Amino acid sequence: MTNKLRYFVANWKMFGHLNSVNSLNKVINFKKKNKKTKNLKIIYCPPFTLIHPFIQKLKNTSIMTGAQNCSFTSKYGPPTGSINAKMIKSLKCEYVILGHSEKRAKGEKDNIINKKIISALKCKLKVIFCIGETSIQKKRRLTKKILLSQIIRGLKKVKNKKNILIAYEPVWSIGSGVIPKIEDLENTTNYLKLFLSNKMKFKNPKVLYGGSVSPKNISILKKITNLDGFLIGGASQNSDKLIDIIKKTFN
C-alpha cells in the first residue's frame, strides 16, 4: 500500500471565499515535510471563483488544481454563466470533474457528459469521470449494469484514455455517512478495472472512490487495495481533516 501512488481529489463543491486560500498552507507544509507524500497526488477542485487564486498559491508546489465542471463545447459563445474547457486550461488548470452525480441528478445525460469529456481532453485537461448508481438501482441489483452503461456512453468515441480517472461514487452514499461494504466495494472496483482494461482499452485504469469519505471511515476504505485514491467532498474543505485522511491511508 505505501508504495502505491494514490490520488486525493478535494472537491470543495460550493464552498470558500478568497481568504479560504490561506487554509491550504497546512496541506502545503504537510506535503513538503512528509516523506510518504511522494506516493500521492493531491488535486484541489475549488469553485470557479477560486481556481486562479488556488493556482497562484500552489504554483511552487506539487499540488495540482482542477475544476468542478465545464461546458460541452470548447468554443466561445452566448451561454450566460457557462465556462468551457479552453477557459479553464488558460488558467493553467490540470483537471476537471465531469459526470458528478449532483449534475446527473439535475438532468445531465450521458451524451452531454460524453461531449464534455471530449472537449476537456481536446483542451489538454485530465478528466475525473464520475459514475455511480442510486439506492433504487442498487436495491434492484443493477449496479454493474448502470456503471457499465455510464462508462460506455460517457466515453463514446474517446480513443485515448490515458488522461481519464474513473471515480466510483455511489449516489446513495454521498453525504449520507454510509459507505459500501468492503467486499462489495472491492468486487465493484475489480469488476470496473477488468472492464476498463479488456473492453474499453485502458492500459492502466485508475479507479477512485467517492462518497462520504472522512477521517472516521478511511481506515476501512484503505483496505480496498485495488483502489487508486479518493474523491473527497465536505471533509476536504478542512485542511486538518484532509491531512488526517491522507495520514491514515498510508499508516
How many Å apart are CA 46 and CA 181, to the nearest integer? Answer: 30
Question: Is position 133 annotated as part of the catalytic site?
Answer: no
DSSP 3-state helix, strand, coil percentages of the chain (rounded to 5)?
Answer: 45, 15, 40
Q: Which of 17, 94, 100, 133 is catalytic?
A: 100
SS3 readout for 216-244: CCHHHHCCCCCCCEEEECHHHHCHHHHHH
**Can 183 be counted among the known catalytic residues?**
no
C-beta of residue 4 within 8 angstroms of C-beta of residue 39:
yes
Task: Please count the other Cβ atoms lying within 10 Å of the Cβ belonging to residue 241.
Answer: 18
The catalytic residue among 102, 108, 133, 169 is: 169
Residue 235 grid cell: 471533509
Q: From CA 167, how far away is CA 49, in angstroms rounded? A: 24
Phi, psi of 72 (to 5 degrees): -85, -5
Which candidate, 247, 167, 147, 248, places its Cα nearest to that of 210?
167
For the annotated catalytic residues, the residue numbers are: 100, 169
